[in-house]
Amino acid sequence: MVQLRLGPVTVGGVVLDNHLLLAAGILGTTGSSLARMLSLGAGGVVTKSIGPHPKDGHAGPCLVVLEDGLLNAMGLPNPSKEFADEITSLAKKPVIASIFGGDPAEFALVASWFKDRVAGFELNLSCPHAEGYGAAIGTDPALVKSCTHAVSVTGVPTWVKLTPNVTDITEIGKAAEAGGASALVAINTLKAMRISTGMRRPVLGNRYGGLSGSAMFPVAVRCVYELYESCNIPIIGCGGIATADNVIEMMMAGASAVEIGSAVYNEVKVFEIIKADLYRKEGLPSTEIIGCAHG
Amino acid sequence: MDDNLPVPVSILRVKKETSLIHTFVVDRSFAFSPGQFVMVWVPGVDEIPMALSSENTITVQKAGDATSAMFNLGKGDKLGIRGPFGNGFAKGEKLLAIAGGVGAAPLLPLARADCVMTLLLGARTENELLFVDQLDECTDVLIATDDGSLGLHGFVTSLMDDLNLGIYDRIAVCGPEMMMRAVLARVEEKGIAHKTEFSLHRYMKCGLGVCGSCCIDPSGLRVCRDGPVFSGDLLLKSEFGHYMRDASGRKKPL
């Protein structure tokens, strides 16, 4: 297997401890949980998505385990502005605040609460199961551009997380780039559903949800590959990554770093495990690998 | 991973334990360790964590929307069950169990496993004491009620003062958090917090250790996956007894 040499890692304006980030929505609700994941080897952490108002999220069931993935509809539960207190103790750590809003003004408002406390922003323009937020905005290139601009003007590195639930993801990627994004994060979950045959109803409280985990890794690789061909800012690959070889494959598709989420279900120490496999002193510099499957 | 969708179960009967606590007997059995919990799906309402009081019974206190909806269900109605989840109580040979209110639910299967020498059972009043007869059959039960209507007039912590705690190798505790915090203060004084275990209740969304809604400060440990049972020494300097978080993640004082 290809292995990497671990040198300094800066992606989309954010200095990371390694190439592996904790994905948004996973163990990111509290400062102490984020600190724990950093201590367990994450090179950076993305917080739970924070919005303009506190939200309780959807009624349960909110998450079920499938054979090769997870299906969830949390409904963007978040404490809103109070979250600033959670991350006070993480100043100067590689913490990226995931934020969402219903329009550019709301994005700007939420960003203003955190801009002096975080290393970067990740715009959630991609949650597939929250009415009026996420993918409801992230499928419209004009809105993606204006929401991205509303945050990128803060000068804080601004990553934009994209939804795969579109015909052409590169159109959305280009809109984010035009709005001043410093990096693209691809991808959020695939809109999905399971029905409990015994109960004769959709198994999630919200009926619709998002599929993550190994089942959608090939979709994520394809999206990263397409974005690398058409955009000129770094890409952070996300979707079903569970092994060091998955990381290498995602980098070959064009990712400069990766986010890991669902794999935490099987093993909370997944970052340490992947790091041990991914890095060695005699490994290749990441620049030799990133995008090497193109051309 | 295997597909792990909620298992549909039918309610066989509902037993009224107290005015606010009912036991739902269902038509499926779940292998579990005492202290583990299940996520119970009340269709069309919500899904919430609950203790198993035996392999085919869930004992529930009416508290919020989902439990109130459950109290309207009867024979033949369906629920969905995910789990059992969590770690359960550690094994011991000479256990002291301390239960407050509906906290007796996860301690009944522990007592039935024949390792509990003594069980301290507390409630506000005689009518709210849970599982008195069932517990009497399998262990030595000492009772305290806040109003003195049965047993000692006072809290379960007062019952502790009359015991030689040194004879027990483990202490298992489940009840309202303020009561558990008082127990923790007692065992800390006696230097035995490390052999005392507490079953925590926190708001949970996923039950699988993924979403992070039940993480406790300052360790960041997940109540649903790393708990719900935690050693007392781990809880000494923690949020336990001080605050918890609501569904949105905002801190709420106890």
Take residue A92 and report the two structure tokens written for it.
């100067």
pTM of the model: 0.96
Take residue B136 and report the two structure tokens written for it.
């009497």
Element (H, E) at A247: helix A244-253
Residue A21 forms beta bridges with which residues?
A: A44, A259
Return the beta strands (E) in B146-200 as ranges.
Answer: 152-153, 170-174, 196-199
For residue A234, give how far its alpha carbon lies from the nearest alpha carbon of chain B (Å).
27
Take residue B150 and report the two structure tokens written for it.
């049965």
Report pLDDT digits (tens) over A30-74.
999 999 999 999 999 999 999 999 999 999 999 999 999 999 999
Of B44, B210, B250, the CB nearest to A265: B210
Predicted confidence at residue B1, as pLDDT, reads 45
For domain A9-53+74-191+209-288, say whether CATH 3.40.47.10 is its number.
Answer: no
Band of pLDDT at residue B2, cut at 50, 70 and 90? low
Question: φ and ψ at B164, to 5 degrees?
Answer: -90, 95
ipTM of the complex: 0.95
- Asked if A33 and B43 come within 8 Å (Cβ–Cβ), the reply is no
How much is the mean pLDDT over chain B? 96
Separation CA B177–CA B119 (nearest Å): 18
Q: Which residue, among B64, B129, B134, has the nearest Cα to B99 in the 3D structure?
A: B129
Predicted confidence at residue A129, as pLDDT, reads 77
Q: Which residue, among B120, B112, B106, has the nearest Cα to B179 in the 3D structure?
A: B120
Please list, in sequence order, all residues whose beta carbon lies within 8 angstroms of the beta carbon of residue B244, skipping any fewer than 6 positions away: B177, B202, B203, B251, B252, B254
- Compute chain A's Rg from CA coordinates: 18
- Asked if B1 and A66 come within 8 Å (Cβ–Cβ), the reply is yes
Long-range Cβ pairs for the range A194-197 (8 Å, 24+): A194/A64, A194/A66, A194/A71, A194/B5, A196/B5, A196/B6, A196/B8, A196/B80
Separation CA B129–CA B150 (nearest Å): 9
Q: Which residue of A has its CA nearest to B212?
A: A27
Q: Is B217 on the interface with A (CB under 8 A)?
A: yes
Q: Is B45 on the interface with A (CB under 8 A)?
A: yes
Q: Which residues of B touch A65 (CB under 8 A)?
A: 1-4, 208
Q: Which residues of B touch A30 (CB under 8 A)?
A: 212, 215, 217, 220, 245, 249
Of A27, A72, A213, the CB nearest to B212: A27
CATH architecture of B7-85: Beta Barrel (2.40)
For residue A42, give how far its alpha carbon lies from the nearest alpha carbon of chain B (Å).
15
Q: Which residues of B touch A57 (CB under 8 A)?
A: 205, 247-248
The CA–CA distances, whole Å, from A174 to A13, A121, A156, B243 equal 18, 18, 19, 45
Identity of the residue numbered B140: D
For chains A and B, what is the number of CB pairs under 8 angstroms? 152
- A127 a catalytic residue: yes
Of A61, A79, A194, the CB nearest to B250: A79
Q: Which residue, among B223, A23, B48, B131, has the nearest Cα to B239 in the 3D structure?
A: B223
- Asked if A68 and B248 come within 8 Å (Cβ–Cβ), the reply is no
- Asked if A196 and B1 come within 8 Å (Cβ–Cβ), the reply is no
- Asked if pLDDT for residue B171 goes beyond 60, the answer is yes
- Asked if A27 and B218 come within 8 Å (Cβ–Cβ), the reply is no
Residue A255 forms beta bridges with which residues?
A: A235
How much is the mean pLDDT over chain A? 96
Predicted confidence at residue B215, as pLDDT, reads 98
Separation CA B120–CA B247 (nearest Å): 32
Separation CA B117–CA B130 (nearest Å): 18
- Asked if A199 and B43 come within 8 Å (Cβ–Cβ), the reply is yes
- Asked if B46 and A60 come within 8 Å (Cβ–Cβ), the reply is yes
Question: φ and ψ at A245, to 5 degrees?
Answer: -65, -35
Separation CA A238–CA A223 (nearest Å): 10
Q: Which residue of A has its CA nearest to B214?
A: A29
For residue A34, give how far its alpha carbon lies from the nearest alpha carbon of chain B (Å).
8
Q: Where are the domains of chain A?
A: 9-53+74-191+209-288
- Asked if A196 and B80 come within 8 Å (Cβ–Cβ), the reply is yes
The 3-state secondary structure of B30-44 reads: CCCCCCCEEEEEECC
Q: Which residue, among A222, A33, A209, has the nearest Cα to A134 in the 3D structure?
A: A209
Going by the DSSP 8-state scheme, the letter that residue A141 receives in this structure is H
Q: Which residue, among B131, B98, B117, has the nearest Cα to B198 in the 3D structure?
A: B98
- Asked if A60 and B39 come within 8 Å (Cβ–Cβ), the reply is yes
To probe the interface with B, which of A65, A195, A217, A264 has the most B CB atoms within 10 Å? A65
Band of pLDDT at residue B202, cut at 50, 70 and 90? very high
Question: φ and ψ at A146, to 5 degrees?
Answer: -70, -35
Contact B246, B203 (CB under 8 A): yes
- Asked if A265 and B221 come within 8 Å (Cβ–Cβ), the reply is no
Contact A64, A71 (CB under 8 A): yes
Q: Which residues of A touch B46 (CB under 8 A)?
A: 59-60, 205
Please list, in sequence order, all residues whose beta carbon lies within 8 angstroms of the beta carbon of residue A239, skipping any fewer than 6 positions away: A164, A186, A187, A212, A216, A217, A219, A220, A221, A223
Take residue B215 and report the two structure tokens written for it.
């993480």
Residue A95 forms beta bridges with which residues?
A: A45
Mean pLDDT in residue range B176-196: 97
Which ranges of chain A have pLDDT less than 50?
none
Q: Where are the domains of chain B?
A: 7-85
**For the purposes of burial, counting CB atoms within 10 Å of the CB of A281, is it exposed (0-12), middle (13-18) or buried (19 or more)?**
exposed
Q: Is B87 on the interface with A (CB under 8 A)?
A: no
To probe the interface with B, which of A58, A64, A262 has the most B CB atoms within 10 Å? A64
**For the purposes of burial, counting CB atoms within 10 Å of the CB of B204, is it exposed (0-12), middle (13-18) or buried (19 or more)?**
buried
